[in-house]
Structure 1
Amino acid sequence: MAYHQRLSLLILIDSSFIIVAFLLSKVLLYETFDLYHHITVSTLLSLIVFHHFFSKVYKLYKKAWEYASIGELLIILKIVSFSIFFTAIIQLSIDNAVHLRMLFIIWLIQMSFIGGSRFTWRAIRDSYFKTEENRKRTLIIGAGAAGTMIARQLIKNNDSSLLPVAFIDDDHRKHNLDILGIPVIGGVNQLESAVSNLMIENIVIAIPSLNSRELNRIFKECAKTNINTKTLPMIEDLVTGKVSIEQFRDVEVEDLLGREPVKLDMEGISEYITNKVVIVTGAGGSIGSEICRQIARFLPKHLILLGHGENSIYSIEMELRDLYSEQPIKFFPEIADIQDAEKIQQIMNLYRPDVVYHAAAHKHVPLMEHSPEEAVKNNLLGTLNVANAAHLTKVKTFVLISSDKAVNPTSVMGATKRLAEMSIQHLNKTSKTNFIAVRFGNVLGSRGSVIPLFKKQIKNGGPVTITHPEMVRYFMTIPEASRLVIQAGSLAKGGEIFVLDMGEPVKILDLAKNLVTLSGNSIDDIGISFTGMRPGEKLFEELLNDNEVHEKQIYPNIYIGKASESYVEEIGLLLKTYSQLDKEVLRQTLIQLANRKHHQNSAYSMPG
């Protein structure tokens, strides 16, 4: 009902404007109100009829005039001009003449009245109905398209808690200009003084094209101000409509450490995943669940979510079912322990997968030092169970998710991962299945990783605990690692160890400082303490050992390591006897075997 009332009111107002414009033109030209002449009546009716006809064509009455802009003004220009033009044709057909001066004056008055009324309403609304109380004074970094869009949204939305008062931009051509009435006051180097002078309460970084290095530079300047800093939502979330432009998010450590988005060979991946049957083990874990999300985008025929924890498997299953409810993908949850060889074989026989991603593993380094037998059962024996089942069911591609800790391992976790790599490389020699391993370092935000621990410590008031001030690690985001794992699978020929380019190693101390700052705290308030290195830890991680180095990338961000010796007889002997060994003896045995070099030809014997 409100819409029809609004429509009737606007039609009445515009009709009144047209009549007034017509009468004024008569007075100005002829100083008379002769309303009964046939030309007078036909001209007035034509103006009204054609105006409302073209208003309907251009949807003039559906516009929200409180947000009127140049686009709406152009529509009014078209409507008034077309109505005058067709009125002239009517005059010509009736009177064999066109009253050009009268029509020109009517055109001017209509544009002034109709256009002016709309923009006057917007000006009144902006000036008198805008509530600036309780809105935080906001500085927008970036006066480009994204920054302008944010400013416009914040200005027109009175419900927003943010009030844009200035732009900061390093483009000198924009300095001292006003955009939407908001001044561009300088570059990032003037940020501190701008925050102080303008009493800024909030900062929004609005430059989607920023790489991590530039974002780091800007964020360091923002951190000096101790003002809450936000950034835009992820572009993919904006495009898919999951969030709006006004739903800013905190700057995350992933933004500061992230790299250029991974560009996938969509055709190559589609060829081996689309309409195929795929199993992901450890599907409820941080890496496994993200691999499932990435695989689902390529529309496999069946995606089997295999895991030991029922809650995590249920969670990823429900998420995927919601996302792909209208797609022809079938999701099958399977609760199973990879140490149960018989159950794993049953699942393989049931689904007959084309591809297996083996992400199930124990990965916590210090915990596995205390329980080496569990690391053997899960990381080595469990991997062999899944690999053998894949071999027997003639799976086309088997991808083992490995770790940089498998290189020259000093920990039980790293050693069991290295021995798992050796095992599948040996199996690849006699199997029709292409067995490969993919190695990468730490992923940001994965369960058991350092970042969730730091965040919890900061939330509790500190201190943040670091084992050693010189500790460095490679990092990548979970989505990036998962995409590269899937890409590596499409490149598999069998027997390879693929190594993901992890970029530059990151100092854990710098990571902790960034997290403290991002949380809105100062390092002095939270504090950082050093606890000493834990069992099995190394100061520096490696991605390839000296025997495996192969410098050429086979795909952007993916290297391939040279094949190394697989000591399968020794691994077999270890699997038969590990449960009888003392924990420390087992630990030393694992590390010794995993670090065995090519030239060591002496017979290997179990210690003890």
Structure 2
Amino acid sequence: MSKWGDRWSSSVPRVAVVTHDLAMVWLVWEGLHWLRYSVMPNPPEMALWSTEVVLVLAAQGLVFWQVGLYRGLWRFASVPDLWNIFKACALGLFAIVLGLFLYNRLDLVSRTVLVLYPLVLMGLLGAPRLLYRAWKDSHVDRGGQASVRILILGAGHAGEALVRDLRRFGSYQPVGFLDDASRLRGTKVQGVPVLGRVEDVAEIARETAARLLVIAMPSADADAMQRVVVACERSGLPFRMVPRLRDVLEGRSLPGELKEVAIEDLLGRQPVLPDWKAIRAWLGARSVLVTGAGGSIGSELCRQCARHGARRITLVELDELSLITAEATLRRDFPDLEYIPVLGDCGDPAVIDYALRQAVPEAVFHAAAYKQVPLLETQVREAVRNNVLATRTVAHACREAGVGTFVLISTDKAVDPGNVLGATKRLAEMGCQALADQRCTRFVTVRFGNVLDSAGSVVPLFREQIRNGGPVTVTDPEVTRYFMTIPEACQLILQASAIGTHEAIYTLDMGEPVPIRVLAEQMIRLAGKQPGRDISIAYTGLRPGEKLHETLFHADERYRATAHPKILQAEPRAIQAELVQAGLEKLREASGRYDCEILSMVLRELVPEFQPIAHRAPAPAERAIVVAFPSRAARKS
């Protein structure tokens, strides 16, 4: 009984809308004819109902239904709905003319009425819808709570849409816009006045008694965002921002959700836009395996694969809690896919062989690695075992199993290694290169710089230090790093994998390096505090193995452009595969004995460019060399 009752009650509003629209059709048709014939000396008699009127109502009603006029709700009527009404009225006129022509050759139908009919009908159908929405917007139930007064920074499309959304919620009251465009000064957007410039936010916020600032500038670059954030901080009020469309589409923000300004919004580099069509064409319906699937990169890589067409994802992870968390998140967000969790060390041949048999993957992403530079300087054995020998084990197993693509996730520290992390990742690249064979598995290496907010990175460290009241520790006032976000890094991995070249090394043109000192200052400001006044910055000196600046490109690796404008392909440096194979066996034996001295010696022999920073003096021109990008002409040559 309740099911039929619910169905009946839900159909009542639609019946009322249909009745209203047909009543308007009758009123317009009869009214226009009455007005037209009323000026004649002997007007013909017009019946309120006739076969002609029934044909008009039937033709126009059928067009209304076919155009989809009743799929929308009056509560959310907008300009697209008016355009839909106009199309329905125009097509309805055509249907009416055709029907009446066949019925009575348009006898007693005024040509003036035919011209005016769609225009008048559009007004009588559209006006009630817009008036109803305006009435609903002005009578939203506020639950007895006072509205929060909001000042919006940015009077563009995002600001206009934000006002409409805020009015629906009812608990927020937009009191004004701020925008630097002089042409907007004194105007109104959705009835809300543009009060002044962004830099005047502190003064205008006091005058309007605003309690919250919202930045509605989703297309603003990093410099503009930094200026806006500084202005907001001067006001002393909390502030939020409208998320970028990119964040909404990729699931990092919900439509209509206001988010806090993140550090990536203030860094001076544009995000890389991937070629999703190429990625989906390569990834679609594939089975993939990800090692280190519970880590920052591994878990996001699994999400990207699930979002863009993979049918089966195998998660290999050593940490049980990370594996449980990653799998549960995937099953919640993408319940229709198949997941195979494998708990174990991917460097164990039995574990990786079992995982490959279970998954039968067409692509393997090797994300498992140790990455903490200072720690690995004193943990050579584990660095070699996990970063080199485990990579060799996984890569060799993939080649034996006939996996189509093996992707090694490397780092910019492998370009010109000055620490154990860089040297082990460079040797991992060489080990994959030694296994490469044009007739079997395609080996791909992807390098990128530091990843914002990844586990153990500088951003979570700074955030914790700021939460504890400081000081924020920076190694050196001049130290710089290249940064990218976790989703961006994973998109680069998928994009490079989709390009399809055999035995390739890909790197991202990451723009300009970011001074860590500036990063620390921005994070302090985002926390609503002032660097040097509320939170101090302490310089502790470079830690073991750390460089002042990182290198993205090596002189012996000739770089060329790819199908993606921000991804460059490097030509692998020549290696002697036999020597690499023999060296890896020596490392395996020394690792079994935990002989760190032999491990360090063999590592330097196999990676001759590895010069530990503690044992070398910086070259005079090092700083200029390492921050330079190859010219566009050189990339294309």
TM-score of the pair, normalised by structure 1? 0.78
Please tell me whether residue 574 in structure 1 is matched to residue 587 in structure 2.
yes
Which shifted more, 123-132 or 281-290? Answer: 123-132
Instruction: Describe the superposition over 1:542-592 as per-residue Cα deviations: whole angstroms up to 9, x where unpaired.
Output: 12344x342433342223144143552344323322454665x46753663
Q: Contact 1:408–1:595 at 8 Å: present in 2 too?
A: no
Which shifted more, 425-434 or 514-523? Answer: 425-434
Taking the aligned partners of 2:493 and 2:470, their CA distance within structure 1 comes to 36
Residue matched to 1:254: 264
Taking the aligned partners of 2:108 and 2:550, their CA distance within structure 1 comes to 90
Please tell me whether residue 425 in structure 1 is matched to residue 433 in structure 2.
yes
Instruction: Describe the superposition over 1:240-297 as per-residue Cα deviations: whole angstroms up to 9, x where unpaired.
Output: 89965431111111222352332227337634x4344422211221111222222334
Residue matched to 1:140: 152
SS of residue in 2 equivalent to 1:529? strand
Q: Contact 1:410–1:591 at 8 Å: present in 2 too?
A: no
Note the 1:519-538 alignment, pairs <5 A.
519-523=527-531, 524-538=533-547
Which shifted more, 513-522 or 167-176? Answer: 167-176
Q: Contact 1:136–1:163 at 8 Å: present in 2 too?
A: yes
Please tell me whether residue 345 in structure 1 is matched to residue 356 in structure 2.
no
Note the 1:558-573 alignment, pairs <5 A.
558-565=568-575, 567-568=579-580, 569-573=582-586
Q: Contact 1:373–1:579 at 8 Å: present in 2 too?
A: no
User: Residue type of the partner of 2:550?
Assistant: E
Q: Report the alpha carbon displacement of residue 61 of structure 1 after superposing the two structures with TM.
A: 9.0
User: Residue type of the partner of 1:490?
Assistant: A
Larger Rg: 1 or 2? 1
Taking the aligned partners of 2:109 and 2:414, their CA distance within structure 1 comes to 89
Please tell me whether residue 229 in structure 1 is matched to residue 205 in structure 2.
no
Residue matched to 1:266: 277
Taking the aligned partners of 2:346 and 2:130, their CA distance within structure 1 comes to 69
Q: Contact 2:278–2:498 at 8 Å: present in 1 too?
A: no
Q: Contact 1:402–1:439 at 8 Å: present in 2 too?
A: yes
Q: Contact 1:488–1:558 at 8 Å: present in 2 too?
A: no
Unaligned runs of 5+ in 2: 1-7, 39-43, 611-637
Q: Report the alpha carbon displacement of residue 120 of structure 1 after superposing the two structures with TM.
A: 6.5
Instruction: Describe the superposition over 1:181-237 as per-residue Cα deviations: whole angstroms up to 9, x where unpaired.
Output: 112234434444433433332222223333444433433433333332222234256
Q: Contact 2:89–2:118 at 8 Å: present in 1 too?
A: yes
Q: Contact 1:264–1:483 at 8 Å: present in 2 too?
A: no
SS of residue in 2 equivalent to 1:337? coil
Note the 1:37-56 alignment, pairs <5 A.
42=48
Please tell me whether residue 166 in structure 1 is matched to residue 179 in structure 2.
no
SS of residue in 2 equivalent to 1:304? strand
Please tell me whether residue 371 in structure 1 is matched to residue 379 in structure 2.
yes
Note the 1:394-409 alignment, pairs <5 A.
394-409=402-417
Taking the aligned partners of 1:354 and 1:78, their CA distance within structure 2 comes to 50
Please tell me whether residue 180 in structure 1 is matched to residue 199 in structure 2.
no
Please tell me whether residue 206 in structure 1 is matched to residue 216 in structure 2.
yes
User: Residue type of the partner of 1:342?
Assistant: A
Note the 1:335-484 alignment, pairs <5 A.
335-428=343-436, 432-484=440-492
Taking the aligned partners of 2:121 and 2:439, their CA distance within structure 1 comes to 83
User: Residue type of the partner of 1:526?
Assistant: I
CA RMSD of aligned residues (A): 4.7
User: Residue type of the partner of 2:524?
Assistant: V
Taking the aligned partners of 1:183 and 1:242, their CA distance within structure 2 comes to 32
Taking the aligned partners of 1:278 and 1:580, their CA distance within structure 2 comes to 35
SS of residue in 1 equivalent to 2:339? strand
Note the 1:183-332 alignment, pairs <5 A.
183-235=193-245, 238=248, 245-257=255-267, 259-264=270-275, 266-267=277-278, 270-271=281-282, 273-326=283-336, 329-332=337-340
Taking the aligned partners of 1:101 and 1:281, their CA distance within structure 2 comes to 74
User: Residue type of the partner of 1:199?
Assistant: A
User: Residue type of the partner of 1:506?
Assistant: V
Q: Report the alpha carbon displacement of residue 151 of structure 1 after superposing the two structures with TM.
A: 0.9
Which shifted more, 183-192 or 140-149? Answer: 183-192
Q: Contact 2:243–2:257 at 8 Å: present in 1 too?
A: yes
**Structure-2 change in CA distance of 1:48 and 1:113 (3 Å):** farther
Q: Report the alpha carbon displacement of residue 72 of structure 1 after superposing the two structures with TM.
A: 7.1
**Structure-2 change in CA distance of 1:594 and 1:249 (3 Å):** farther
Q: Contact 1:280–1:304 at 8 Å: present in 2 too?
A: yes
Taking the aligned partners of 1:449 and 1:590, their CA distance within structure 2 comes to 29
**Structure-2 change in CA distance of 1:342 and 1:55 (3 Å):** closer
Q: Report the alpha carbon displacement of residue 176 of structure 1 after superposing the two structures with TM.
A: 2.1
**Structure-2 change in CA distance of 1:270 and 1:579 (3 Å):** same
**Amino-acid identity (%):** 35
Q: Report the alpha carbon displacement of residue 400 of structure 1 after superposing the two structures with TM.
A: 1.2
Which shifted more, 54-63 or 192-201? Answer: 54-63
Q: Report the alpha carbon displacement of residue 392 of structure 1 after superposing the two structures with TM.
A: 2.0
Instruction: Describe the superposition over 1:278-317 as per-residue Cα deviations: whole angstroms up to 9, x where unpaired.
Output: 2221122111122222233443454322221233233333
User: Residue type of the partner of 1:577?
Assistant: A
Which shifted more, 451-460 or 484-493? Answer: 484-493
Taking the aligned partners of 2:552 and 2:71, their CA distance within structure 1 comes to 61
Taking the aligned partners of 1:439 and 1:495, their CA distance within structure 2 comes to 14
Unaligned runs of 5+ in 1: 31-37, 599-608
Taking the aligned partners of 1:291 and 1:76, their CA distance within structure 2 comes to 45
2:165 corresponds, among 142, 145, 153, to 153
User: Residue type of the partner of 2:545?
Assistant: G
Q: Contact 1:140–1:168 at 8 Å: present in 2 too?
A: yes
What is the number of equivalent residue pairs in this alignment?
A: 585
Residue matched to 2:551: 542
Q: Contact 2:352–2:394 at 8 Å: present in 1 too?
A: yes
Q: Report the alpha carbon displacement of residue 474 of structure 1 after superposing the two structures with TM.
A: 0.8
Q: Contact 1:484–1:558 at 8 Å: present in 2 too?
A: no
Q: Report the alpha carbon displacement of residue 378 of structure 1 after superposing the two structures with TM.
A: 0.9
SS of residue in 2 equivalent to 1:540? coil
